[in-house]
Amino acid sequence: MSIATELPEGSQGRRWLVGGPHGQEWLFSRYKNAPVEEQERQLALIRFVAAGVLNQLPRSDRPERLALFAQHTSGDPHTLDPDRPAGRLFLLALNDLARIEEGTLSSPTTPIVPQDRAQELRLYADARLLVDTISSSVTVFNLAGAIYHRGLLDSLPQAAGERVLLLPLRQLLEWQSVLPARADIYVFENPQVFEEVIGELRPGKALPTLVCTSGWPSLAALRLLDLLIAESPDNRLHYSGDFDLKGLQIAAHLMARYPGRCYPWRFDPDSYILAMHAGGVPANKTELTALNALPDVFASLVAMMQEKGKWAYQEGIVHLLIDDLNTFTQSLIHY
């Protein structure tokens, strides 16, 4: 396909066409037997996505709203909507590029195409394209401070003090930096566990910052964690979640996103057994087998979970999490 050779070496459009699973080889095989008119239409669409869109993505310091980006690249604000041909191809290209960047093209567990709206939103966000900055939010406790892009201090964290803030993505995008109360930041999967822990923390201590993702991390949650980690090389995350496939996948995802800066918290066989005593749920064999794809750091836990054949939940170890945080100022946490 000549389109790839027309594009600059190393450009996003060329990387996608040459190396993407939905690049030139897939497109050729898909349309090689189509009528000439259809082939010409698809070539124009491919050229638009590769050269007119991928090679004009916003800079990291200047994110742009998807509709406005579509307007100035095509003249139609709806061109890149996911139900439009260009929008569908664009999402496939973004997903291909993300997999190239992550080095997961050969991984059978990685979806070939975006599976849901949440994944689509993550792809747009990684491309610096804004779709919805209000409904995506994250909950945080005891945030020390935040600074706007123009260098001004935002009084919101100081005014909140040791109270819970629900922060939309829109607010987080206005901040250039965020300060945690301590270098060690604790991240929870489940909101009720998060609330219970906050309610049981001993007063009078220099409390750390706590973050709740409420399941798989939203764009807002990832933005907050990015800012917290970027604030200082000493800052690090400790993640605790459910003893099930999703909980461990979230832990693995955060550890991969923040290598050497994110640590599993109470993801060990002993904690799992304690959680099981509070009640376990039978797991299906397919999901138990999928645990084998997790990093080696979870090997002993995975072996125990596969032996027991059950999931257990963060609610069953809430007392351990409370104890850990109440002794945090005296000694380092046990991972």
Question: Poorest-confidence range of 114-118, 171-175, 270-274?
Answer: 114-118
DSSP-assigned beta bridge partners for residue 211:
140, 187
pLDDT at site 133: 76
Backbone angles phi, psi at 211, to 5 degrees: -125, 140
Domains along the chain? 2-130 (no CATH), 137-326 (3.40.1360.10)
In Å, how far are 124, 133, 210, 216 from 63, measured between CA atoms?
A: 10, 12, 27, 23
Mean pLDDT of 272-287: 91
H runs (alpha helix) in the chain: 2-6, 12-19, 24-31, 36-47, 66-74, 85-102, 117-126, 156-160, 169-173, 191-200, 219-231, 245-257, 269-277, 285-290, 299-308, 318-326
279: number of Cβ within 10 Å: 11
Sequence-ordered list of residues with C-beta below 8 angstroms from that of 196, at least 6 positions apart, any chain:
318, 322
Residue 10: per-residue pLDDT? 87
Return the pLDDT at 271.
97
Give per-residue pLDDT as tens, 64-119: 999 999 999 999 999 999 999 999 999 999 999 988 887 766 544 444 555 567 67
Task: Tell me if 245 sits within 8 A of 291, measured CB to CB.
Answer: yes
- Report d(CA 293, CA 313) in Å as an integer: 20
Supply the pLDDT for residue 329.
56
pLDDT in tens, 8-37: 888 999 999 999 999 988 898 898 899 999
Would the pLDDT of 125 be above 90? no
pLDDT higher than threshold 70 for residue 232: yes
- pLDDT digit string (tens) for 186-210? 999 999 999 999 999 877 667 899 9
Question: Is the pLDDT assigned to residue 136 strictly greater than 90?
Answer: no
Q: What are 65's strand-pairing partners?
A: 130
pLDDT band at 181 (very low <50, low <70, confident <90, very high): very high
Assigned token pair, 179: 């300060």
Mean of the per-residue pLDDT values of the chain: 89
Confidence label for 126 from pLDDT (cuts 50, 70 and 90):
confident
Cα gap 85→106, rounded to integer Å = 27
Amino acid at 87: G
pLDDT at 335: 43
Kindly tell me if the per-residue pLDDT of 330 is higher than 70.
no
Percent of the chain whose predicted confidence (pLDDT) is above 70: 93
Q: Is the per-residue pLDDT at 308 higher than 50? A: yes
287 pLDDT more than 90: yes
Q: Which stretch of DSSP H or E encloses residue 150?
A: none
Q: Has residue 319 got a pLDDT over 60?
A: yes
Return the percentage of the chain with pLDDT > 90, whole number: 69
pLDDT score recorded for residue 259: 96
